[in-house]
Amino acid sequence: ACLVGSEMCIRDRFYSKAMDLFRYIVRFLYKIRWYLIILPMIALVIAWFSTRDMERVYDTNTTIYTGMITGYNLEGGTGAAGGQSQINITNLMLLITTDATIHEVSLRLFARCMMYGNPNKDNNYISAEHFRMLQNSVPVEVKALINHNSENATYANLKAYERPSADNYVFGITNYHPYFGIDAITSRLKVIQLQKSDIIDIGYTANDPGIAYNTLDILNEVFARQYGLLRYGETNNVIKFFEREVARLYRILTNAEDDLIRYNIEKRIINYAEQTKQLSSLDANQKLSDNDLIINKTTTRALMNYLERQLGDR
């Protein structure tokens, strides 16, 4: 049979060896079945005990489109000339991490956490555990500065209260607190330019999801406002100067017009140009009427003289 159907014989031997190998693997796995169950369980328990106290880390990112390379400028071109656009983007990235920017972010973040934190429930601003720790460390006089109706008012109060002193609580948190410290925020902040494009990517990492999100949210607002002041401060000053001059000249013109109106009312002058035009028209019409009357009178007198001569003594 193998000589007649050698191909079939080879196929049967292949299947036979494959089945033998499969049975061998199954018997081997069956023998070590307890090892396959127990060892992964032990590894899982060890991993759980090793990582149960590890701190969770939350990463947040935001992107900013600057338009400095491909954006249109006032001359009708795109971007800035030469390497100026890249220099501007570098300055922009440095502005994000300056102490002035991060200091405002720090105070506003602290104000937001104190305003909206909940000691019994996690929320989008700060976790309950971290808020309890924060609240227990804040003195009473600083809590009195928190205006729960206005974040800007709270920020103004904290900024006015801050003094460069070791016993000043606000000064302390902006320098040493793990969430609100300037150095702590800067160290976890990553600012990069994406592939030499107009886009800047800002990343931040924290062990509290609310802190991580709100830090970047506030940074976006503060950075945009400070960049506007830096970039357009001189232009805005020139614009404000011209606005003040226009307002001053407008007041002068308005007063002059009001004086003219009062004079016209007192002198009963409605419209000098229109009145002159009307008077000229009336004078011309009057002269035409006088001429017509003179012509009629002369014609009538001549006719009367002619008739008197014709009638004679009759």
- Give me 8's structure tokens: 């079939």
Number of other CB atoms surrounding residue 144 within 10 Å: 10
Mean pLDDT of all residues in the chain?
84
What is the predicted pLDDT for the residue at 70?
63
What is the predicted pLDDT for the residue at 223?
87
Query: Exposed/middle/buried for 181, CB within 10 Å: 0-12, 13-18, 19+?
Result: middle
What is the predicted pLDDT for the residue at 53?
63
Is the pLDDT score of 75 beyond 60? no
Length of the chain: 314
What is the predicted pLDDT for the residue at 1?
45
The pLDDT tens digits of the residues spanning 146-204 come to 998 999 999 999 999 999 888 899 999 999 899 999 999 999 999 988 887 778 899 99
Residues with Cβ within 8 Å of residue 13, at least 6 apart in sequence: none
Instruction: Say how far apart CA 131 and CA 172 lie, in whole Å.
Output: 17
Residues with Cβ within 8 Å of residue 116, at least 6 apart in sequence: 123, 125, 126
**Residue 210: enclosing H or E segment and its boundaries?**
helix 209-266
Q: How confident is the model at residue 15 (pLDDT cuts 50, 70, 90)?
A: confident
- With H, G, I as helix, E, B as strand and everything else as coil, classify residue 196: coil
What is the predicted pLDDT for the residue at 102?
93
Q: In the chain, what percentage of residues exceed pLDDT 90?
A: 42
What is the predicted pLDDT for the residue at 3?
46
- Full-model pTM: 0.61
Is the pLDDT score of 297 beyond 70? yes
What is the predicted pLDDT for the residue at 103?
93
- Give me 207's structure tokens: 């062990």
> Phi and psi dihedrals of 190, rounded to 5?
-120, 120
Q: Which is more confidently placed, 297 or 79?
A: 297
Residue bearing tokens 């199954």 = 26
The pLDDT tens digits of the residues spanning 81-120 come to 445 677 778 888 888 888 889 999 999 999 999 999 999 9
What is the predicted pLDDT for the residue at 64?
84
What is the predicted pLDDT for the residue at 308?
87
Instruction: Say how far apart CA 273 and CA 169 lie, in whole Å.
Output: 75
Is the pLDDT score of 258 beyond 80? yes
**Residue 63: enclosing H or E segment and its boundaries?**
strand 58-65
The pLDDT tens digits of the residues spanning 27-72 come to 888 888 888 788 888 888 887 777 666 667 889 999 888 766 665 4
Is the pLDDT score of 300 beyond 90? yes
Is the pLDDT score of 253 beyond 90? yes
What is the predicted pLDDT for the residue at 245?
93
The pLDDT tens digits of the residues spanning 136-162 come to 999 999 999 999 899 999 999 999 999
> Phi and psi dihedrals of 122, rounded to 5?
-70, 145
Number of other CB atoms surrounding residue 213 within 10 Å: 17
What is the predicted pLDDT for the residue at 81?
46
